Amino acid sequence: MKKLLYSLPIVLFGLLFSVLACRHEIPISIRTGNGSDTLAGPPGSGGGPGNTVVSCSADTVYFVQSVLPLLTSGCAQSGCHNGSSGGDAGDYTLNTYAGIMALVTPGNAAGSRLISITSSGRMPPRGYAALTADQIAMLTKWINQGAPDNSCTPSTCDTSQVAYASTIVPILQTNCTGCHSGSAAGGGGIDLTQYANVLTQVSSGKLWGDIKHLAGYNAMPLGGGSLSSCDLSKINTWIRAGAPNN
Strand partners, 54: 38
In terms of domains, do 206 and 176 share one? yes
Q: Give the global pTM.
A: 0.64
Q: With respect to residue 156, please indicate whether it lies within any of the assigned structural domains.
A: no
Looking at per-residue pLDDT, the higher value among 55 and 197 belongs to 197
Q: With respect to residue 154, please indicate whether it lies within any of the assigned structural domains.
A: no
Q: Which of 151, 136, 125 is nearest to 70 (CA)?
A: 136
The neighbour count for residue 81, using CB atoms within 10 Å, is 25
In terms of domains, do 72 and 123 share one? yes
Q: With respect to residue 155, please indicate whether it lies within any of the assigned structural domains.
A: no
Q: Poorest-confidence range of 133-147, 188-202, 232-246?
A: 188-202
Residue 51: per-residue pLDDT: 56
Furthest C-alpha separation in the chain: 95
pLDDT of 146 higher than 60: yes
pLDDT tens for residues 94-109? 788 988 999 999 999 9
Indicate the residue among 12, 33, 56 that finishes a domain. 56
* Amino acid at site 229: S
Task: Report the length, in residues, of the chain.
Answer: 246
CA distances 205 to 41, 187, 217, Å, are: 42, 17, 10
Q: With respect to residue 157, please indicate whether it lies within any of the assigned structural domains.
A: no
In terms of domains, do 47 and 67 share one? no
Q: With respect to residue 208, please indicate whether it lies within any of the assigned structural domains.
A: yes
In terms of domains, do 120 and 85 share one? yes
In terms of domains, do 82 and 42 share one? no
In terms of domains, do 127 and 77 share one? yes
In terms of domains, do 134 and 68 share one? yes
Looking at per-residue pLDDT, the higher value among 14 and 234 belongs to 234
C-alpha 214/C-alpha 193 separation (Å) is 23
CA distances 149 to 66, 80, 162, Å, are: 11, 23, 29
In terms of domains, do 79 and 116 share one? yes
Task: Over range 186-212, report the average pLDDT.
Answer: 88
Range of the domain at 85: 63-144
Q: Which of 63, 125, 130 is nearest to 95 (CA)?
A: 63
The neighbour count for residue 13, using CB atoms within 10 Å, is 10
Indicate the residue among 144, 178, 200 that finishes a domain. 144
In terms of domains, do 175 and 230 share one? yes
The neighbour count for residue 127, using CB atoms within 10 Å, is 12
pLDDT band at 231 (very low <50, low <70, confident <90, very high): very high
Q: With respect to residue 42, please indicate whether it lies within any of the assigned structural domains.
A: yes
Q: With respect to residue 151, please indicate whether it lies within any of the assigned structural domains.
A: no
Do residues 173 and 128 touch, judged by C-beta distance below 8 A?
no
Q: With respect to residue 39, please indicate whether it lies within any of the assigned structural domains.
A: yes
In terms of domains, do 201 and 231 share one? yes
Q: Name the domain count of the chain.
A: 3
**DSSP string spanning 77-101?**
STTSSSSSSSTTTTT--TTSHHHHH
pLDDT of 45 higher than 50: no
